[in-house]
Amino acid sequence: MTKPTRVSRKPDRSWTDADRLRWAIYWLLIAVCLGNAVGRIWAVTAEHGRHPFLSANDRSRWATVRALVDHQTFAIDEVIQDRYWDSIDKVYHLGPDGKYHYYSSKPPLMACVLAGEYWLIKNTVGMEISEHPFYVGRAVLIATNGLLLFGLLWATIWIVERYAKSDFARIGIVATVAFGTFLTTYAVTINNHSLAATSVAIALYCGLRVWCDGRGDARYLLGAGFFAACAAVNDLPAFSFFGLLGLAMLIKRPVGTLVYGVPAAALILGASLLTNYIAHQSWRPPYAHRADGEVLGTLETKLHGALDKKEVPLVLKDVLENHGIELSQQAEIITRETGNRWVVLDMGIDRRYAVQRTENNIEVRDWDNWYDYDTSYWKPGVKKGVDLGEKSIGRYAFHVTLGHHGILSLTPVWLLSLLGLGLWLGEKGTHRQVAGFIVALTLICVLFYVFRPLKDRNYGGMTSGFRWAFWLIPMWLTAMIPVLDRWKNARWGQLLFAVLLLFSAISASYSALNPWVHPWMYSYMGYLGWLD
């Protein structure tokens, strides 16, 4: 392929009037996008009017932030005593003090960074988030999401300035970032998707410089390693991006990747693992603790009747005593499923154990299901609405792509990305390779979620778009380059792009003050009676 001429980002004597105009438009788009985000952050208020935290998802993170700074612990027990701070996104497990506590189910690394911002505010201005949630919360939101949104815009400008050939493509793609994606919608709430998408954008630019331009600069290898790892630890499917980009860097620059990229990635991966261990005393994240622990012993199946009667059999006590566990007089049996599953709950020693009937016996297991507690929303029979899961995989695949949560139906500007990928796949050289990279990652992410178990086929819960794919947005933007470059002088193409962008912007704006609501298409289909 023919390498595009590099455009300097600093004004000099070689700049033309067109260059100056284009950069003026960039700065205007940045100013409007950030101004819009800040204005919405300042205006947003939760339904009950007590603070600007909009859903169980972001309240879960905010609870950890408050607990870390105000109580010096990851346990959120004291924070969620205020019902306005409570969240369904929490787990319940033993803490370092040997007692059970509630914790946020979200990875703790991001909360630690946010806690640093809150600590700075508290120790300089003197404001506590419990007393001034609007001032403190909005200050943290503006600083965090404003920086992330600026980073996304700036990385996109880097990419289009380097690889797009026409001003129409460059300005059009930056305008899409500013107005036409759900990443701007999520600027009013703390979330992992904005951080993952910005990280992907920066890592993608660094990776393109290495793969397409043959650059081996330490800054590009460091950037690719660090930000790809940052995307991975904040959005689970982005581990595919981290792995595939890492492999590409090893192929292109093996020594430089090992010297610069691997240590940079190890830094963020290590920080994520370490904060998770400090928070939960486990190297595995909370969502990996959804089942019973190791088998401690077995009982005869005939004892199921005694267990249903809430009797604690002596043989059960013997099994636990063999592991150094002596039940107190407060031990009781709680039936989870008559004849099949029970819980041994001992408030005297603050311990619980799982008892599960199998084909051959009854197993006594250590407790490791952090989502199974009395008030848990995630227990069978408690969840409701979209969280029940879509029974039909085919229907789920349709609504994820073309239906009420559809990637293409809500933001049809991505149709141009599909066309661009087709154009690049028809070429030879690095364009085809980059297109294959984007196609592979898109398929991995979408298929991963389409074929999840029933309980996970919920479109991301109460959310204005299919948020689990948001981290792919920087790659879809890059894929628009060949289409818009070809339409630089085509009035019909420019008009079509404007219509698609307008429709995408309307979808993104529908939930501008709270992204934790269903998309407009879902609400409209419900109004028409098309949904169960």
State the pLDDT at residue 336. 86
State the pLDDT at residue 301. 87
**Is residue 108 very low, low, confident or very high in pLDDT (cuts 50, 70, 90)?**
very high
| Residue 9 scores a pLDDT above 60 | no
State the pLDDT at residue 387. 86
Angle at which helices 520-527 and 491-510 pack, to 10 degrees?
A: 70
Kindly give the pairing relationship between strand 351-357 and strand 362-366: antiparallel
d(CA 428, CA 144): 41
Q: State which H helix or E strand residue 91 sits in.
A: strand 90-94
The mean per-residue pLDDT over the stretch 79-86 comes to: 91
State the pLDDT at residue 13. 56
DSSP 225: H
How many percent of the chain have pLDDT more than 70? 97
C-alpha dihedral, 76 to 78 to 82 to 87, nearest 10° = 20
Per-residue pLDDT tens digits for 339-392: 899 999 998 898 999 999 998 899 999 999 999 888 899 887 888 888 889 999
State the pLDDT at residue 46. 77
State the pLDDT at residue 8. 46
319 contacts: CB under 8 Å, gap ≥ 6: 296, 297, 298, 299, 364
The mean per-residue pLDDT over the stretch 522-531 comes to: 91
The answer to whether 194 and 183 are in contact (CB under 8 A) is yes
The mean per-residue pLDDT over the stretch 460-489 comes to: 96
Amino acid letter at 363?
E
Q: Token pair 């595009």 is at which residue?
A: 4
State the pLDDT at residue 2. 46
Residue of higher predicted confidence among 52 and 467: 467
State the pLDDT at residue 38. 96
State the pLDDT at residue 44. 84
124 contacts: CB under 8 Å, gap ≥ 6: none
Kindly report the pTM of this predicted structure: 0.93
Per-residue pLDDT tens digits for 182-192: 999 999 999 99
- Among the residue ranges 117-121, 270-274, 322-326, 443-447, the one predicted with the least confidence is 322-326
d(CA 156, CA 177): 8
